[in-house]
Amino acid sequence: MSKERGLLIVLSGPSGVGKGTVRKELFSQPNTNYEYSISATTRLPREGEEDGVDYFFKTREAFEALIEEGGLLEHAEFVGNYYGTPLAYVNETLDAGRDVFLEIEVQGAAQIRKKAPDALFIFLAPPSITALQDRLEGRGTEPADVIARRVAKAKEEVEMMSLYDYVVENDEVHNACDRINAIIKAEHCRRERVEKRYIAMLKGE
Amino acid sequence: MSKERGLLIVLSGPSGVGKGTVRKELFSQPNTNYEYSISATTRLPREGEEDGVDYFFKTREAFEALIEEGGLLEHAEFVGNYYGTPLAYVNETLDAGRDVFLEIEVQGAAQIRKKAPDALFIFLAPPSITALQDRLEGRGTEPADVIARRVAKAKEEVEMMSLYDYVVENDEVHNACDRINAIIKAEHCRRERVEKRYIAMLKGE
């Protein structure tokens, strides 16, 4: 029987929502059973950084060659340096039956959605939504322009979440982590995945 | 803002798989936050059983009237007595924003799938699948007819699971419970559900 392919898990959300903090907490847990996707970059290694551990360090030419040949799941340029997700590493890990976890900006997530539609997309939502909700439900003690600005921001965020499978509110880091772990565990029980395994087994694969 | 409707959770699976044991374990946990759906029946109360707690006890006439008026999510007859799931209790609990948990035979689950397609259907799968897999993968130490019988049964079970959203292998009761709790937690984070709440909030509902 062939080994079940791993899940590609993409965590994203608006900037400032706390994606990095949640990701660090997830990987500090003793029972994390997914691999962190290592990015490629053209920036120089800092002291103590290792190639293939912290980043795949590339020259600008090598990085652009990767872009050309479709070797990146997504990429972007910040402050003169390229950053991107190498497809080969992700595919090798998934093929080995291990889940891959990616924490990424919304623009990168949108690129991945197009290339890997069967990945699991989790949107980390700001905790202020609840606060906003409470305020809107209250008796108008905030000035109208503040409410309007918050509503405008919330509307933008609602539109951003429409490409995602799950929305996790980051009210507390440990709650957000619990929800993300539950989502990953649940996804492994989805009938489509399990049924495929049963059918393959019955066929003696 | 209107309260979010609860989830209807339907746990089913082949007879003998351990549905009752898993359900009892789930409801013995201190943090269970879903309601057990109380069945209606025409059998007489046993000592200590309370109407509206253990069952809704009905006369045969009252039960048949419920069937007539579409007041049951599903029903069946065993050994001369009717058993069924009253729609009113389920709907009231869901409308109050609480999840309802139903543990039920596969025939009943199939009836519910038709009436409540947005419910969450969890198939509890027998642990022997793993054993079967090991055997099939082994070097044919079992007689061919035994293997054939097991494969036939597994095939039946695969066909039964096709109506379900999730498949939980009951390898160990506590593992099965962990998976079911993860599924329920994850379902509450599904974008379609959360987005609706955000949109309702933005409309000031």
Does B62 fall in a domain?
Answer: yes
Are A33 and A127 in contact, with CB atoms under 8 Å apart?
A: no
In this structure, is residue A1 part of a structural domain? no
Q: Is position B188 within any domain?
A: yes
Q: Percentage helix, strand, coil, to 5, in chain B?
A: 45, 20, 35
Domain assignment present for B2: no
Residue B70: beta bridge partners?
none
- Tens-place pLDDT, residues A53-78: 889 999 999 999 999 999 999 999 98
What is the per-residue pLDDT for B1? Answer: 41
With an 8 Å Cβ cutoff, the interface of chain B facing chain A consists of 1, 123, 125, 129, 132-133, 136-137, 151, 154-155, 157-158, 161-162, 164-169, 178-179, 181-183, 185-187, 189-191, 194-195, 198-199, 201-202, 204
- Looking at residue B131, its pLDDT comes to 60
- Residues in chain B, overall count: 205
Six-digit token string for B32: 């269970």
The pLDDT of residue B118 is above 90: no
Domain total of chain B:
1
Strand-pair category, B72-78 with A56-57: unpaired
User: B196 to chain A: nearest residue by CA?
Assistant: A158
The torsion angles phi and psi of B62, rounded to 5 degrees, stand at -65, -40
Instruction: Give the contacts of B151 (CB within 8 A, at least 6 positions apart).
Output: A202, B132, B136
Radius of gyration over alpha carbons of chain B, in Å? 20
Separation of alpha carbons A25 and B73, rounded Å: 43
- Domain assignment present for A3: no
Helix (H) or strand (E) run with residue A11 in it:
strand A8-12
Which whole number is the average pLDDT over B170-197? 93
What confidence category does residue A166 fall into, taking pLDDT thresholds of 50, 70 and 90?
A: very high
The ipTM, to two decimals, is 0.83
Least confident segment among A73-77, A196-200, B58-62, B81-85 = A196-200
Q: Is the pLDDT of residue B45 over 80?
A: yes
Question: Is pLDDT of A122 > 70?
Answer: yes
Classify strands A40-41 and A81-86 as parallel, antiparallel or unpaired: antiparallel
B136 pLDDT higher than 70: no
Chain B interface mutation, best of A166, A168, A179, A205, highest count of B Cβ atoms under 10 Å: A166
Assign residue A58 the CATH number of its domain: 3.40.50.300
Q: A34-36 and A99-103: which strand pairing? A: parallel
Q: How confident is the model at residue B139 (pLDDT cuts 50, 70, 90)?
A: low
Spatial strand order of the sheet with A56-57 comes to A56-57, A40-41, A81-86, A72-78
Lowest-pLDDT range of B2-6, B14-18, B41-45, B65-69: B2-6
Residue B72 pLDDT grade (very low, low, confident, very high; cuts 50, 70, 90) = very high
Cα–Cα distances in angstroms (integers) from residue B42 to residues B79, B82, B88, B104, in the given order: 11, 5, 17, 17
Query: Does B170 fall in a domain?
Result: yes
Of the two residues A96 and B105, the one the predictor is more confident about is A96
Axis crossing angle, helix B144-161 with helix A191-202, rounded to the nearest 10: 160
For chain A, give the percent of residues with pLDDT over 70: 89
Using CA atoms, how far apart are residues A107 and A104, in angstroms rounded to an integer? Answer: 8
Q: What is the DSSP string of B112-180?
A: HHHH-TTSEEEEEEPTHHHHHHHHHHTTS-S-HHHHHHHHHHHHHHHHHHTT-SEEEE-SSHHHHHHHH
Range of A83's domain?
8-202
Mutation site, A171, A201, A203, interface B, largest B CB count within 10 A: A201
Residue that is written with structure tokens 């093929």 in the block: A95
List the single residue in B158, B189, B191 with the smallest CB-CB distance to A198: B158
pTM: 0.84
Nearest to A169 by CA among A22, A61, A32, A48: A22
B81-86 and B40-41 beta bridge pairing = antiparallel
Task: Give the CA radius of gyration of chain A.
Answer: 20
Does residue B28 fall inside a structural domain? Answer: yes
In a domain, B1, yes or no: no
Kindly report, residue by residue over A101-110, the tens digit of the pLDDT. 999 888 899 9
First to last CA, chain B: 4
Residue A127 has pLDDT above 80, yes or no: no
Banded model confidence at residue A197, pLDDT cuts 50, 70, 90: confident
Residue B39 distance to chain A (closest CA, Å): 27
CB contact under 8 A, A186 and B186: yes
- DSSP for A98-166, please give it: -EEEEE--HHHHHHHHHH-TTSEEEEEEPTHHHHHHHHHHTTS-S-HHHHHHHHHHHHHHHHHHTT-SE
Binned at pLDDT 50, 70 and 90, residue B8 comes out as very high
Q: Is A204 annotated as ligand-binding?
A: no
pLDDT value for B62: 96
Range of lowest pLDDT (A73-82, A104-113, A124-133): A124-133
Determine the average pLDDT of the residues in A110-124: 91
Sequence-separated (6 or more) residues with CB below 8 Å from residue A161: A123, A125, A167, B191, B194, B195, B198
Lowest mean pLDDT across A191-195, B39-43, B178-182: A191-195
Overall average pLDDT of the B171-179 stretch: 94
Long-range contacts, stretch A39-47, CB < 8 angstroms, 24+ apart:
A39/A83, A39/A84, A39/A85, A39/A86, A40/A66, A40/A72, A40/A82, A40/A83, A40/A84, A40/A85, A40/A86, A41/A81, A41/A82, A41/A83, A41/A84, A42/A81, A42/A82, A43/A81, A43/A83
